[in-house]
């Protein structure tokens, strides 16, 4: 593996690019922020909102997809209180929602917004989750499907042509796509930038799990015809304001957002992905597939912000990343309807074995806790 010389991202990260100096696109894009006139960008944001907002006060101005997390808390506050618009917030509820997640979503609504909360059929959701785990190595697959599809379905149904997402992944995670302006959310854009859509799974692949198309309504993205009829566009708020998760965290805590009392498994923070239980398993499979997880994401952001050194970030990654989650393990296995031994078999199916230590017979080496170890954590 090759690692960025400034942060800790490896070249195994999808869509990441490296320049001739060995610096990743997440770092170069982050540095580009310093050349942006953010006052002009805010003016552009207000022009976009004027263009798409409701003129007759008989409908909502936009949709904000929310979970109750720190980012959606900030988005809702900024659009309503800082800019004075009237959004409809939309939340897709996965089955593993935490009590803290429910509390934070309730407090988000107290900012003063209408909210549609969508709760999927639990029987279908569980089957989709198991399908995602076995066929894709992603137990949170139906959550991702719903988070992307339901807000757009609501936009089409309620004739609301603007959806506002949060951080700009081009700046924060190095994705090369130009998302600095409003985007028509048609199938072409989503297949290029999303990836969590049922269109990529052939129907016959679903039938062996007992699915019918009528059961999949919440997870199916609207057609291009439906989207173009309403003109559903999206923007990333992080394209128009300087995104700083730590400054925003301090603000939303004053508004009612609560951190966890424990750090999250797979990383070292207590303020992200608090709304669902099984995110740590999604992050663990990312580690198996690509050799990095959530701790690398967090440490790399803090390195770019100058909050920690690269050496400190590497120390945190080695300490927290790449361990089988244990807090919700029994609940995870029960919901997936698999044994621990079957879980390990699925893990090995999705492990890129070139990245991890093996014995002379090519078998992955495991410690007493059952964890595997990367061959390298840094260059050299």
What are residue 104's phi and psi, to 5 degrees?
-65, -40
- Is a pLDDT exceeding 70 seen at residue 203? no
Q: Answer whether residue 7 is part of any domain.
A: no
Same domain for 172 and 299, yes or no, is: no
Q: What CATH number should be reported for the domain holding residue 117?
A: 3.40.50
Per-residue model confidence (pLDDT) at position 193: 61
Q: What percent of the chain has pLDDT over 70?
A: 93
206 and 292 both lie in a single domain: no
Encoding tokens for residue 163? 């959806």
Asked whether residue 349 is assigned to any structural domain, the reply reads: yes
**pLDDT confidence of 138, banded at 50, 70, 90?**
very high
pLDDT score for 214: 85
Residue-wise pLDDT for 154-177, tens only, equals 999 999 999 999 987 767 777 655
pLDDT at 334: 96
What does DSSP say about strands 87-92 and 62-65: parallel, antiparallel, or unpaired?
parallel
Torsion of CA 302, 308, 310, 315, to 10 degrees: -100
Residues 278 and 335 grouped into a single domain: yes
CA-nearest of 117, 104, 80, 375 to 237 is 80
pLDDT of residue 170: 67
Are 191 and 287 in a shared domain?
no
Q: What average pLDDT score do residues 125-141 get?
A: 92
230 with 281, same domain?
no
- One domain, residues 294 and 226: no
Do 135 and 232 belong together in one domain? yes
- Residue 167 and residue 273 in one domain: no
List pLDDT tens digits, range 40-87.
Answer: 999 999 999 999 988 878 899 999 999 988 999 999 999 999 999 999
Mean pLDDT of 301-307: 94
pLDDT interval class at 192 (50, 70, 90): low
The pLDDT assigned to 189 comes to 72
Q: Do 100 and 224 share a domain, yes or no?
A: yes
CA quadruple 276, 281, 284, 285: dihedral, nearest 10: -120
- Is 23 a domain residue? no
Residue recorded with tokens 């059929």: 121
Please report whether residue 15 resides in a domain.
Answer: no
Is 218 found in the same domain as 274? no
Read off the pLDDT band of 240 (50, 70, 90): very high
Select from 239, 255, 276 the last residue of a domain: 239
In a domain, 4, yes or no: no
Number of domains in the chain: 2
Q: If you average pLDDT over residues 218-224, what whole number do you get?
A: 88
What pLDDT, in 10s, does the model give residues 266-300? Answer: 999 888 888 899 999 999 999 999 999 999 999 99
Whole-angstrom distance, CA of residue 337 vs CA of residue 180: 43
Query: Do the domain assignments include residue 172?
Result: yes
- Rounded to the nearest 5 degrees, what angle is found at the Cα of 205, between the Cα atoms of 201 and 206? 90
Q: Note whether residue 16 is domain-resident.
A: no
pLDDT for the residue 158? 96
For residues 48 and 126, membership in a common domain is answered with yes
Pair 198, 281 in one domain: no
Share of the chain above pLDDT 90, in %: 71
Domain membership of residue 219 as a residue range? 36-239
pLDDT above 90 (res 351): yes
Cβ(283)–Cβ(298) below 8 Å:
no
Q: What is the DSSP string of 259-278?
A: --SSPPTTSS-SSSS-SBST
Q: How far is CA 155 from CA 79, 197, 241, 319, in A?
A: 17, 17, 24, 43
Q: Is residue 362 part of a domain?
A: no
* Mean pLDDT score, 208-225: 86
**d(C-alpha 174, C-alpha 365), whole Å:** 32
Lowest mean pLDDT among 22-26, 45-49, 118-122, 174-178: 174-178
């Amino acid at each position: 593996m090759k690692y960025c010389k400034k942060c800790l991202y490896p070249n195994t990260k999808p869509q990441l690019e490296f320049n001739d100096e060995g610096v990743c696109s997440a770092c170069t894009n982050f540095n580009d922020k310093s050349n942006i006139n953010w006052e002009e960008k805010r003016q552009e944001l207000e022009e976009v909102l004027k263009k798409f907002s409701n003129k007759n006060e008989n409908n909502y101005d936009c949709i904000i997809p929310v979970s109750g997390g720190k980012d959606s808390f900030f988005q809702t506050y900024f659009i309503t209180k800082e800019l004075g618009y009237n959004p409809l917030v939309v939340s897709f509820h996965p089955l593993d929602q935490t009590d803290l997640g429910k509390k934070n979503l309730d407090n988000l609504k107290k900012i003063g917004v209408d909210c549609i909360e969508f709760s999927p059929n639990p029987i279908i959701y569980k089957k989709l989750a198991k399908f995602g785990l076995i066929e894709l190595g992603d137990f949170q697959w139906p959550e991702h499907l719903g988070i992307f599809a339901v807000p757009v379905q609501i936009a089409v149904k309620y004739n609301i042509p603007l959806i506002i997402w949060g951080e700009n992944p081009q700046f924060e995670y190095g994705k090369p796509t130009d998302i600095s302006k409003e985007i028509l959310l048609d199938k072409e854009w989503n297949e290029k930038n999303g990836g969590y859509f049922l269109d990529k799974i052939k129907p016959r692949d679903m039938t062996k799990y007992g699915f019918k198309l009528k059961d999949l309504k919440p997870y199916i993205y609207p057609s291009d015809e439906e989207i173009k009829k309403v003109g559903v566009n999206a923007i990333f708020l992080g394209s128009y304001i300087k995104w700083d998760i730590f400054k925003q965290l301090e603000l939303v805590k004053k508004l009612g957002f609560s951190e966890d009392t424990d750090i999250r498994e797979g990383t070292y923070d207590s303020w992200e992905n608090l709304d669902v239980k099984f995110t740590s398993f999604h992050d663990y499979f990312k580690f198996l597939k690509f050799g990095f997880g959530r701790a690398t994401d967090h440490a790399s952001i803090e390195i770019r912000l100058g909050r920690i050194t690269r050496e400190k970030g590497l120390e945190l990654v080695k300490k927290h990343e790449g361990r089988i989650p244990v807090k919700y393990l029994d609940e995870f296995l029960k919901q997936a309807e698999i044994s621990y031994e079957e879980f390990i078999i699925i893990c090995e199916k999705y492990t890129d074995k070139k990245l991890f230590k093996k014995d002379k017979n090519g078998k992955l080496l495991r410690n007493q806790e059952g964890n595997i170890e990367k061959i390298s954590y840094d260059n050299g």
